[in-house]
């Protein structure tokens, strides 16, 4: 096992690359080249890749090494459906508390924080862990949604308003609409994610 400090640095850097879409779906992850790029030995890189495989952010097919998962349209829709399932399940477990919602989230990060706050109120930490994992797996696609969907600010404001009003029915409608919109553009999201010119720069960590 690699030294904890080196392992954590490599693990965080690799996860950031995966979540940002810097490496495309289906792309191979070579420990030797990554170790040189990350200024670390191969051992912590392999350890980090194994951990990310356990989190399903990386695949390791037998005899094929490591690679970024390449979901089909069906699998991407399953991920969005699971994301919705976790949110709705958590909402059934506990009444909403409007005071805990952020005041005015306008970005994907702040929306993530709002959804986490809603799920955390279910009282079951497994709901929150499941939400975080599925959001990490969706991250490469979520960052592309703004290219295909308009009125994202309005969508976020509707979710916030329903939460702060403690209106469970309205919040459920907003969440269902949020996921329906994304399901309609799944093919386009996959096409964008696979474009070779679609790798944004990632800051050094």
pLDDT band at 93 (very low <50, low <70, confident <90, very high): confident
- Within this chain, do residues 84 and 63 fall inside the same structural domain, yes or no? no
Domain encompassing residue 113: 73-191
CATH classification of the domain holding 9: 1.10.10.10
3-state secondary structure (DSSP) of residue 29: strand
Tokens of 27: 């792309």
Higher-confidence residue: 129 or 113?
A: 129
Angle at 149 between CA 145 and CA 155, to 5 degrees: 100
Q: If phi over 0 gives left and psi between -120 and 50 gives alpha, with beta otherwise, what is residue 153?
A: alpha
- Within this chain, do residues 94 and 165 fall inside the same structural domain, yes or no? yes
* Region 94-100 average pLDDT: 49
Is residue 47 included in any domain, yes or no? yes
The alpha carbon dihedral of 122, 127, 133, 139 has a sign of negative
- pLDDT above 90: residue 185: yes
The total number of residues written for the chain in this structure: 205
Distance CA 104, CA 43 (A): 44
At residue 198, the pLDDT reads 60
- Within this chain, do residues 79 and 155 fall inside the same structural domain, yes or no? yes
**pTM of structure:** 0.84
Going by the DSSP 8-state scheme, the letter that residue 59 receives in this structure is B
Q: What does the pLDDT look like over 38-67, one tens digit per residue?
A: 999 999 999 999 999 999 999 999 888 999
Query: How many separate domains does the chain show?
Result: 2
pLDDT band at 104 (very low <50, low <70, confident <90, very high): very low
Tokens of 124: 């079951």
- Within this chain, do residues 86 and 99 fall inside the same structural domain, yes or no? yes
**Residue 198 C-beta-side C-alpha neighbours within 13 Å:** 18
- pLDDT above 90: residue 195: no
Contacts within 8 Å (CB) and 24+ apart, 148-156: 148/185, 148/188, 148/189, 148/192, 149/181, 149/182, 149/185, 153/106, 155/181, 156/105, 156/106, 156/110, 156/111
Taking alpha carbons only, the member of 126, 71, 64 closest to residue 93 is 126
- pLDDT above 70: residue 82: yes
- Within this chain, do residues 93 and 181 fall inside the same structural domain, yes or no? yes
- Within this chain, do residues 85 and 181 fall inside the same structural domain, yes or no? yes
- Within this chain, do residues 85 and 63 fall inside the same structural domain, yes or no? no
* Region 76-89 average pLDDT: 95
Residue with tokens 């409608």: 173
3-state secondary structure (DSSP) of residue 66: strand
pLDDT band at 164 (very low <50, low <70, confident <90, very high): confident
């Amino acid at each position: 096992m690699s030294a904890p400090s080196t392992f954590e640095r490599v693990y965080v850097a690799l996860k950031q690359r995966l979540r940002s879409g810097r490496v495309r779906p289906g792309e191979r992850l070579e420990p030797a080249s990554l170790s040189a790029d990350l200024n670390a030995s191969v051992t912590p890189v392999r350890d980090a890749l194994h951990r990310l495989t356990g989190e399903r952010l990386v695949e390791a097919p037998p005899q094929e090494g490591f690679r970024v998962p390449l979901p089909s349209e069906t699998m991407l829709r399953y991920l969005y459906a699971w994301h919705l399932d976790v949110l709705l399940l958590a909402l059934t477990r506990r009444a909403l508390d409007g005071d805990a919602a952020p005041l005015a989230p306008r970005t994907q990060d702040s929306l993530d924080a709002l959804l986490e706050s809603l799920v955390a109120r279910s009282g079951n930490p497994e709901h929150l862990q499941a939400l975080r994992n599925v959001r990490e797996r969706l991250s490469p696609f979520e960052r592309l949604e703004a290219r295909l969907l308009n009125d994202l600010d309005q969508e976020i404001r509707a979710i916030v308003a329903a939460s702060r009003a403690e209106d469970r029915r309205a919040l459920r409608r907003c969440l269902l609409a949020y996921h329906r919109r994304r399901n309609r553009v799944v093919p386009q999201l996959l096409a964008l994610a696979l474009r070779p010119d679609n790798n944004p720069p990632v800051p050094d960590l």
